[in-house]
A = this chain, B = another copy of it.
Amino acid sequence: MINKVKSAVEKYNMLEMNDSVTVGLSGGADSVALLYAMLELKSCYNLNIQAVHINHQLRGAESDRDEDFCRSLCKRLNIPFFCKKIDVAAHMKQYGTSCEESARILRYQAFDEYSDGGKIATAHTLSDNAETIIHNLARGTGLKGLTGIPPVRENIIRPLILAERDEVEAYLKDKSQDFVTDCTNLTDDYTRNKIRHHVIPQLKKINPSFFKTIASDISVLQLEESFIAQASDEAYKKCLVSENRLENLKGYHKAIRNRCIAAFLNNHGLRYSSDRIEAVDSILLHDGKINISQNVYIISEKGILFIEYVNEKIECSSFEMPLAIGKNSICGKKFCDVQIILNENCVKTQFINTNLANSALDYDKIIGVPVIRSRKPGDKI
């Protein structure tokens, strides 16, 4: 295992000489092994190592047992030890987040507090990473999601990211070092258990070297992701002529256009889905206007993309009128344009415009007279 830690540290430039490293120590196998591994690298990098244990106070006496275990271990290894008690339930109540999410946020807040700008080492393994990737694939992902847990993110490092769970346990066995049930089992939710206990064993039957293989897959995908991210960042910077305006994006490859559109929406606090990106890309190419949220429009004119914030509202509280072919004036302020388009029972004419301001109805299925009216209680869209 230690060689995989050394490989990861080198490959991702995790450590520099004289680094201070705060190890997140739960007392579970992974984090205990991480602490030992950091000790093995201590002299080489002249590291300053300390450990922080987070007592989640979620499992009563067991939580306190874990805390005691970590305290004793650090005392024996002569590592400065800190313990932070966090109130997950209170955080959940205040922010409406899930138990796992609250625990995660408070955990990293505590690590930040004790690390004082130094490195924070967490014990994510290759096994965790494989599970995350399969989780992302199942729940929907782009290329980035297939690169899994970032080995380094700001001052957080994951030195076990190339090591398998089995190797971690063998490493500790070799040192006759025991461990407690890992409190990261907090994240052992329904989904992760399914992947760990049902999906991964099947993939290991298909390929006994599955973990080695996926580590290599991840390596390649990380590279390609970093290339696309760099290319789209460059394109974005070139096209962003003002905070609110993207010019010349039209000439780029669709993959780059889509990443830039996502960044543009995201930077304006606007939600994006693959459908929305597709719709914006379509108006980028052909010009048009999309209502993004209540009073926000994204507009493309001559291939220039910009966002318009409209404060004006239609000032007529309630109306109802039959729809006629052609322009229907709504309270004299807006128009609804009605056309009948022939359906030739042909794919070519079945194209549904993804521009959100357009709707298509099947004329044959309309009974009675269609009306346009303001929203009433009970209406659903």
Interface residues of A (CB under 8 A from B): 3, 6, 9-10, 41, 43-44, 133-135, 137-143, 146, 191, 194-195, 198-199, 202-203, 205-207, 210, 213-214, 216-217, 219-221, 223-224, 226-228, 230-231, 253-256, 258, 274, 344-348, 350-351
Contact = CB atoms under 8 A, between A and B. Distances in A.
A134 B351 CA distance: 32
Contacts of A210: 138
A-B CB proximity, top 10 nearest: A227-B255, A44-B346, A6-B347, A223-B255, A140-B213, A138-B203, A227-B253, A138-B206, A198-B202, A142-B220
Query: Which of A10, A44, A255, A350 has the largest count of B CB atoms less than 10 A from its CB?
Result: A255
B143 A207 contact: no
A214 B145 CA distance: 13
A260 to B, nearest CB: 12
Given A41-B347, A139-B206, A205-B194, A227 B199 contact: no
Given A199-B202, A203-B199, A213 B138 contact: yes
A258 B219 CA distance: 12
Contact of A258 (B44, B191, B223): B223
A135 B213 CA distance: 12
B219 A224 contact: no
B274 A216 contact: yes
Contacts of A133: 137
27 contacts: A10-B351, A41-B347, A44-B346, A44-B348, A138-B207, A142-B217, A142-B220, A142-B221, A142-B224, A143-B143, A143-B221, A146-B221, A191-B206, A194-B202, A194-B206, A198-B198, A198-B202, A199-B203, A216-B274, A220-B258, A220-B274, A223-B258, A224-B224, A227-B228, A227-B231, A227-B256, A228-B228
A380 B164 CA distance: 29
Contacts of A137: 133, 137, 203, 214, 217
A67 B372 CA distance: 57
Contacts of A140: 207, 213, 216-217
A129 B351 CA distance: 25
A263 to B, nearest CB: 15
A281 to B, nearest CB: 10
A346 B15 CA distance: 13
A207 B142 CA distance: 16
A66 to B, nearest CB: 29
A152 to B, nearest CB: 16
A159 to B, nearest CB: 11
A255 B230 CA distance: 11
Nearest to A256: B227
A346 B10 CA distance: 11
A343 to B, nearest CB: 12
